[in-house]
Structures are given as structure tokens and as C-alpha cells.
Amino acid sequence: MNKSSETEISSALIKNYTRYNIEFTGGKGAYLYDSKGKKYLDFLSGIAVTGFGHCHPKITEAVEMQLHSYWHISNLFESPGQELLAKKLSKISGLDKAFFCNSGTEANEAAIKFARLYNKDKFKIISAIGSFHGRTLGSLSATGQYNLWKDFKPLVPGFTYVPYDNTVAIEHSIDEYTAAVILEPIQGESGIIVPSEGYLRKVKEICERNDILLILDEVQSGTGRTGKYFAYQWEEVLPDMITFAKGIANGFPLGGVIVSDKVAEFITPGSHGSTFGGNPLAVAAANQVLDLLNSDTLNDIQLAGTGLKETLNILTSEFIKEIRGKGLMTGIELIPEISAKKTAKELLTNGFITGTSGDSVLRLLPPFIITDKEIKDFAEGLSFVLQPENVDKLKK
Ligand SMILES: Cc1ncc(COP(=O)(O)O)c(C=O)c1O
């Protein structure tokens, strides 16, 4: 592709994304290949989506089988695939019933509506400062980031924002109209922020005492990413609703909400829906993902996460402030002088795909199939990029 056609293609798209000037032509396992034949080690997984890597043979086969059966039938008919997936989700989550949509933002949108259905006299929802719950108006209103919603006011009324990892603030914000608390078990977009141990348990206890619902947004932290099916399971706490998306179908658009029976009871025909929600192809992929995600793979994710942190810790670069996270959801906070975006760009030039959160955090979300050798390769790449003689170009 020559330069002018690249310009032509990008000029036809609305500029709501900053795109790297790279065209991928294929992917296999933990690697992507570009149109110039260059190979990249994928430590981003399409932002926590392709957990089992690119073109996993079993997931490809499951989608192919469905592709030759039917693609779409609407939610007016029986869906054995959705039934099976809902049963699997119920078993691994400890909750009872599932609803399927197409993305994380829609999942949170549904959960907000379900919370208001559950108790019609209550409408307020408490969320955390720094949280990210999506881009549609309901989930954007739940998002505790002024910068993301300042241009779209008025927001949906009824949202209150409290500091993350602070249970006193939640307790103080509750009033007779409070319907729910929505939280990420680990804040992803704002820099892989892991709350103190016991935080979710304490929040659940407050919710129970005040008869309000606890919604956990597992869109990024769920479906194996932290080495448990869902990140809340590190604390052995059971929320009333879980929202999920991203990794559930390894790249097919699928999201959803799993709820307890006490919430499900209030969700009646016509109260919510989606034409494409629970699309058969996406559901076929998701059923295969959950077959691949078992105690052995979860254990492998935990080991790989520990290995990644240990390997990165050996770097002891003067430009790294902190390495944090759980399982394969890892953040590297750089010192304030260094730009995470410039670092990610330099890593990309060296064949490593990473993400960023804010100005200072490199976000690593490698696929679950990552090997020790690939972790070592990445650490060496990062070490090279952060050499004192190379960092001038990474300064903010
Ligand atoms: C925690 C969390 N919730 C919701 C969303 C929104 O998901 P989607 O982009 O699929 O709408 C994201 C996306 O990054 C997320 O990380």
C-alpha cells in the first residue's frame, strides 16, 4: 500500500481514534504480522480480548461450524447456544441467570437498567472516581472520569462518584434512593489500580446492610484475565450482578450480564433487549472459550502473571516507578518524566504491542497462551527501549 492510499483510507474514517500507521494482515497465537512482513509479539490482545491468541484452532472450528448452520435468528426463538453459555456462566460465577448483548458498554447499560427495575423507588448509583464503564450515555454517566463526559452533558441523572478503594465514602453517599454500587474489581483504564484486600468484601457487606445491589464490572478483569474466572473471586465475595464482554468470545463481539435470581425476577419481557445480542457466532466462540478456560488454564495464567512480574522486576530500570496488577493484567507505571504513549510507540517499532493507561502507565494484557520465552523476549525489548541512552525520545 502506498502512502497516498493510506491517507485516503484513514480520511474516510471519523477521527475518534488515534491509529498507528500499521496494517496487520494476519495473526497466529501471540503474534501479529503486518503488510511489510514484520512480526509483532502481541502484549495487548486487542485490549484484553484475544485471550487464547489469534486464530485459536478450536475457537476457529467452533465458529466455522456455526457459520455453516445459521448466523442470526433474532432473540424471538430458542437459542440452545445461549442456554449452554448461560449455564456455564452461572456455574463459574455463582450467580443464576444471564442476558447477552454485544459489548461492555451495553452490558453496563443493561445492569444500570436492571438495578432500577429491581427497586423502582430507587434510582441512584454510586460509582468510583477513575472508573471506566463505557461510552453510551448510561455507562458514560457511570464512568467516574470528568474528561470523558464533560462534552456530553447533561448526563443521565442519579450518579455519584466516590474515591476508589474507600468504603467510608460509599457508606456516606448512600441515601434512601440509592439502588446500587458499580465498581471494577481492578480499575483497568485508569492504570491497573488494584484495591486493598478486603475492599470488595466490605463493599458487599455495606450493600447488604443497606439493601442495595453490588454490580461488578468484569469487562476487562473477567473471563480469566487475572487467573480466576472473575477477578472478584480473589476475594470470595458474590456480587448481585456481573457485567462481562471483551475476552468472553476471543474477538467476536459479545457482552452480557449475569444476575442473581432475586434480580432476574424483576426483568420481564420487553423491559430490555438487543437485536444482535447473543449472536450465534459469538456465542459459539464463547462456549469454546469457556471450555478452554478451566482450572489448569487459570493456573497457567496465574503462573504466567507471576513470571511476568518477576521478569519485569529484574529490570530495575530507573525509569520504572511501579509494576502492579493481577495475573495477566499488568501495569507498569513509568516515572512522571517519561511518556507511556511514546514508550508504547517505541516498543511497537521494536515489534512489541502494548497499551497505555493515562500518561504514565504501560498496560500489558498478553494472551493467556504466552510462554516464558515470550515474556523474556518482551522484557528484553522493554529493557532496550528504556536504556538511559534511548530515553531522551520518550520524554514528555
Ligand atoms: C471495565 C470496562 N468496562 C466497560 C468497558 C466498555 O467496553 P466496550 O468497549 O466493549 O463497550 C471497558 C472497555 O475498555 C472496560 O474496560
Q: Which of 230, 260, 292 finishes a domain?
A: 292
240 and 149 part of one domain: yes
What's the confidence (pLDDT) of residue 144? 98
Residues 6+ apart with CB under 8 A from 380: none
In the chain, the amino acid numbered 53 is: G
Taking the C-alpha atoms of residue 84 and residue 98, their distance in angstroms, rounded to an integer, is 11
Q: Is the CB of 161 under 6 A from ligand 1?
A: no
pLDDT digits (tens, 9 = 90+) for 61-83: 999 999 999 999 999 999 999 99
d(CA 224, CA 289): 10
Residue 3 pLDDT > 90, yes or no? Answer: no
Strand pairing partners for 187? Answer: 193
Give the count of domains, the chain: 2
**Closest by CA position to 46, among listed 378, 395, 363:** 363
* Distance, CA of 355 to CA of 177 (rounded, Å): 39
Report the residue among 17, 133, 223 best suited for mutation to probe ligand 1: largest number of ligand atoms under 8 A from its CB.
133
Q: Is residue 153 annotated as part of the catalytic site, yes or no?
A: no
SS (H, E, C) 305-350: HHHHHHHHHHHCCCCEEEEEEECCEEEEEECCCECHHHHHHHHHHC
CATH number at residue 231: 3.40.640.10
CA of 388 to the centre of ligand 1 (A): 35
Q: Are residues 126 and 84 in the same domain?
A: yes
What is the rounded average pLDDT of the residues 355-369? 96
Q: pLDDT of 251-260, one tens digit each?
A: 999 999 999 9
Q: Predicted confidence band at 10 (pLDDT cuts at 50, 70, 90)?
A: low
CB atoms under 10 Å from CB of 230, counted, come to 24
- How confident is the model over 192-225, as pLDDT tens digits? 999 999 999 999 999 999 999 999 999 999 999 9
Q: Do both 165 and 196 map to the same domain?
A: yes
Please tell me the residue having the least CA distance from ligand 1 atom 9: 104
| Residue located nearest, by CA, to atom 4 of ligand 1 | 133
DSSP-assigned states of every residue in 55-97: T-HHHHHHHHHHHTT-S---TTS--HHHHHHHHHHHHHHS--E
Parent domain of 258: 58-292
Catalytic residue among 42, 124, 159, 217: 217
